[in-house]
Amino acid sequence: MDNDEWTTGRVKLRINGQPVELEMTVPAGPVKLQRIIPIFQQLTNMFVDAGVAAVEAEGKAISCTAGCGACCRQPVPIAEAEVYQIAELVEAMPEPRRGVIKARFAAGVAQVRAAGWFDAFEACIERGRSMPYDAAALQQIEVVLQYFRQGVPCPFLEDESCSIHASRPLACREYLVTSPARNCATPIAGTVHKVDVVMRPSRSLAAISRTGRMNGHGLLLLILALELAEAYPDRAPEKTGSEWMMEFFRHATGAATEGPGVVPEQGLR
């Protein structure tokens, strides 16, 4: 896009009691949501940095480092818009790398499906509807651990590091821990301590990108991205960058928006 096809707006938030004003430049014309995912990635980085600063102020340290890819063997939830973003990312890769990555996706899905994990997860969600929240949460943790124990690596994991780190999903950005790295390699409920992030953009992105076409698949997972993108060709709506951002912050803060790209100060907790 040319410069005259962009518009700049300000967003005012209050994070941990501190006022924050953001200036964001977004497409002026209609675009699909995945086109502005880099903006949501930057926002996620900002909120995660705030969470990291908070734990470091308590004398704790982040355990995650390059070469520590234990967390890249768990089910990663993604938004519908990220399904298409990931599929486009893979298609843009040169051969033979594109074929290698596609083969990893196919092998991973086949292994998880053969183990019956998708059915087990859906059954877990269904049982949880009639259970107290805490009991349902514990049950879901156990099912996630079952996935982890299969040892299925993310298709983008290479040398225990993310090969698409700059383009990784929002949920991956939000996942940092202060517990020892060895705890992630053999996780047990209660032994992995995640960094508290005041706002998780992944949830809001998932909400505003949901079209209903993929509802039958329940939780959308990164490992299924290529399969879903093929089964559901992209027919998502287009909106201006300002409209997408207003929807995002309306969901994230519960606030009514005022003007293009502007959100009143709201406590996020």
- Evaluate whether residue 174 is within a structural domain: yes
pLDDT tier at 258 (50, 70, 90 boundaries)? very low
- Evaluate whether residue 145 is within a structural domain: no
pLDDT tier at 256 (50, 70, 90 boundaries)? very low
Residues 93-150 pLDDT 10s: 999 999 999 999 999 999 999 999 999 998 998 888 898 988 888 888 889 889 999 9
In the chain, the number of structural domains is 1
Residues 25 and 4 sit within 8 Å (Cβ to Cβ): no
pTM of the full predicted structure? 0.89
Q: Which two tokens stand for residue 76?
A: 């990663």
- Evaluate whether residue 138 is within a structural domain: no
- Evaluate whether residue 101 is within a structural domain: yes
d(Cα 80, Cα 82) in Å, to the nearest integer?
Answer: 5
- Evaluate whether residue 69 is within a structural domain: yes
- Evaluate whether residue 243 is within a structural domain: yes
Residues 182 and 7 sit within 8 Å (Cβ to Cβ): no
Domain that holds residue 175: 3-115+150-253
